[in-house]
C-alpha cells in the first residue's frame, strides 16, 4: 500500500503535502479524499471535479492505457476523432430513435414471459429480464441470427466469472470466444457478398461498407480493416450486454425496495411514450446512486498536478465513475433520490471525448425493461427467501436480483 496518512480527524479533507494521496484503505468520501493510491500504484480518481478534469483532458490522461487495442476506446486525439466519427454515424440519436417500438416489443415480451405462471412469480430480474432484453435487442438491432442468443447469454455468464477470477488466461479465452462470434457474423456477410446475394440492410452490413478518414489513403478515406470492424462490433456488444443487464438489475431492485417510487413510476409507465423524459430522469438517478459502471483506465503522458498532488509521467490512473457520482460536494446526500436536481451533474455515461456514444440505445433498453415490468405487474417486491448479491470487484452492480412479481 502506498503512503499518505488518514483523513483529518476533524472531518476536513485530506491535505496535500506528503507528495502522495492517501492509501486506498482510507475510509473517506469522494469529497474529502478525491484521489487515493491503490496497492499497485494506480491513482484512483474519485472526486466529481477531478474525474471530469481527467476525462476531459486526454492530452494528459491518455486512453492508450489498455493492454489491447480497442477501436476507438483505446485511442487519443486525431486518431480517436476519426474512428469515433464512424461510431457516431451508426449511434446517432436520429438513427437509434426509430428502434423504440422494437425495443418496447422485446421488453414487453420478456416481462410477460416472467408472469406466464401467474402472480407470485419468483424471478431474478438481472438474469431473467435484463440479460434477455440486452441479448434480444442487440440481435434484432444488428441483424444477428436468433440462433446466437443462447450462446451470447452463456458468454455473459462466462465473462462475469472470468472477470471475478482475475485470471488473465481465463479472461483472454472469454475475449477470444466473443471475437470468434463476431468473426463468424462478419464472415457470413462476406460469404453472401461473394456469392452475389443481397445483404440485409442493418448496422452490421452498413459497418462492413463504411469508411474511416485516413490521410494516407487515396482520397483521404479507406474501408475498415477486419480487425477494426471486429473491434468496433465487440465494443458495441460485449460490454453493453453485461452493462444493460446490470443496469436493469439496479433499477428493478430500487423500485422493489421503494413502493412509493414504484407506484409513481408505474403510473408513468402506463403511458411510456408520453413520459419518456420523466422515466429517463428516474433511471439516470437510480444509476447515479448505485452506478454499475465502475471505472476506466488512463495513463499520464506528462508530469502534472491533480487535486494538489504532483503526478509523475507514466502514472496509471483509474477514473472511478461510481464514487464521483456520489461526491457529496456535488450531490449532498448521495443516497437522496433527486432526479431533476442531480441530472445535470450525473456522469453515469461518462464525460469528455470518450463519453458513451450509445447512451440513447442503452436508455431505451433500461427504461423499456423497467416500464414493461411495471406495466405487467401490480407489485414488485424483494424476494423474502433470497437476498440480492453483489458482483465481485472489479465488476460493479448486482450479481443476482431476486424479486417476487404480482
* pLDDT confidence band for 392 (50 / 70 / 90): confident
CB atoms within 10 A of CB 371: 26
Mean pLDDT of 141-145: 96
CB atoms within 10 A of CB 281: 17
pLDDT for position 14? 41
Mean pLDDT of 47-70: 90
The pLDDT tens digits of the residues spanning 212-252 come to 999 999 999 999 998 999 899 988 888 788 899 999 999 99
Domains, the chain: 35-405 (1.10.630.10)
pLDDT for position 387? 97
- Beta-carbon contacts of residue 222 (< 8 Å; ≥ 6 apart): 211, 212, 214
Chain center to CA of 405: 27
> For residue 161, is pLDDT > 90?
no
Using a pLDDT cut of 70, give the percent of the chain over it.
92
Q: If we measure between CA atoms, which residue out of 249, 248, 284, 267 comes closest to residue 374?
A: 267
pLDDT for position 16? 39
pLDDT for position 222? 98
Using a pLDDT cut of 90, give the percent of the chain over it.
80
Mean pLDDT of 319-336: 97
pLDDT for position 18? 42
The pLDDT tens digits of the residues spanning 196-212 come to 999 999 999 999 999 99
Mean pLDDT of 380-404: 92
> For residue 12, is pLDDT > 70?
no
pLDDT for position 19? 56
pLDDT for position 13? 37
> For residue 260, is pLDDT > 90?
yes
> For residue 27, is pLDDT > 50?
yes
* pLDDT confidence band for 164 (50 / 70 / 90): confident
> For residue 288, is pLDDT > 70?
yes
- Listing DSSP states for 2-45 in one string gives ----PPPTTS-PPPS-SSSPPBTT----TTT-SEEE-TTS-EEE
Cell of 149: 442468443
> For residue 111, is pLDDT > 50?
yes
Is the pLDDT higher at 260 or at 159? Answer: 260
Backbone angles phi, psi at 204, to 5 degrees: -65, -50
pTM: 0.92
Cell of 277: 423524459
- Listing DSSP states for 99-167 in one string gives GHHHHHHHHHHHHHHHTTT-SSEEEEIIIIIIHHHHHHHHHHHHT--GGGHHHHHHHHHHHHHHHHHT-
> For residue 2, is pLDDT > 60?
no
Kindly report the average pLDDT of the chain as a whole number.
91
Is the pLDDT higher at 140 or at 19? Answer: 140
Amino acid at each position: 500500500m502506498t503512503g499518505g496518512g488518514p483523513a483529518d480527524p476533524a472531518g476536513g479533507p485530506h491535505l496535500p503535502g506528503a507528495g502522495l494521496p492517501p492509501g486506498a484503505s482510507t475510509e473517506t468520501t469522494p469529497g474529502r479524499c478525491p484521489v487515493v493510491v491503490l496497492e499497485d500504484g494506480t491513482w484512483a480518481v474519485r472526486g466529481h471535479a477531478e474525474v471530469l478534469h481527467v476525462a476531459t483532458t486526454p492530452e494528459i490522461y491518455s486512453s492508450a492505457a489498455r493492454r489491447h487495442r480497442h477501436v476507438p476506446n483505446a485511442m487519443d486525439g486525431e486518431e480517436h476523432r476519426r474512428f469515433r466519427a464512424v461510431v457516431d454515424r451508426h449511434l446517432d440519436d436520429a438513427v437509434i430513435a426509430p428502434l423504440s417500438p422494437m425495443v418496447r416489443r422485446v421488453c414487453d415480451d420478456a416481462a410477460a414471459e416472467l408472469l406466464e405462471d401467474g402472480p407470485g412469480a419468483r424471478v431474478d430480474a438481472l438474469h431473467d429480464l435484463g440479460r434477455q432484453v440486452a441479448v434480444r435487442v442487440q440481435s434484432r438491432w444488428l441483424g444477428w441470427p436468433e440462433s446466437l442468443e443462447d450462446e451470447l447469454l452463456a458468454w455473459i455468464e462466462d465473462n462475469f466469472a472470468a472477470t471475478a477470477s482475475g485470471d488473465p488466461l481465463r479472461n483472454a479465452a472469454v475475449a477470444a470466444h466473443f471475437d470468434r462470434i463476431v468473426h463468424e457474423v462478419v464472415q457470413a456477410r462476406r460469404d453472401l457478398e461473394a456469392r452475389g446475394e443481397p445483404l440485409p440492410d442493418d448496422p452490421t452490413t452498413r459497418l462492413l461498407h463504411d469508411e474511416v478518414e485516413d490521410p494516407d489513403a487515396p482520397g483521404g478515406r479507406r474501408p475498415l480493416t477486419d480487425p477494426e470492424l471486429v473491434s468496433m462490433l465487440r465494443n458495441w456488444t460485449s460490454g453493453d450486454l453485461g452493462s444493460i443487464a446490470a443496469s436493469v438489475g439496479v433499477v428493478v431492485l430500487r423500485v422493489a425496495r421503494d413502493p412509493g417510487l414504484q407506484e409513481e413510476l408505474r403510473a408513468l409507465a402506463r403511458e411510456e411514450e408520453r413520459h419518456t423524459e420523466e422515466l429517463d430522469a428516474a433511471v439516470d438517478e437510480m444509476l447515479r446512486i448505485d452506478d454499475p459502471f465502475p471505472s476506466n483506465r488512463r495513463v499520464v503522458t506528462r508530469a502534472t498536478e491533480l487535486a494538489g498532488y504532483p503526478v509523475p509521467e507514466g502514472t496509471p490512473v483509474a477514473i472511478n465513475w461510481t464514487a464521483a457520482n456520489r461526491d457529496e460536494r456535488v450531490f449532498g446526500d448521495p443516497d437522496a433520490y433527486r432526479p431533476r436536481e442531480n441530472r445535470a451533474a450525473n456522469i453515469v455515461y461518462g464525460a469528455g471525448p470518450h463519453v458513451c456514444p450509445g447512451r440513447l440505445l442503452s436508455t431505451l433498453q433500461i427504461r423499456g425493461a423497467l416500464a414493461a415490468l411495471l406495466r405487467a405487474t401490480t407489485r414488485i417486491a424483494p424476494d423474502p427467501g433470497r437476498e440480492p448479491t453483489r458482483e465481485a470487484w472489479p465488476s460493479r452492480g448486482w450479481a443476482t436480483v431476486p424479486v417476487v412479481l404480482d
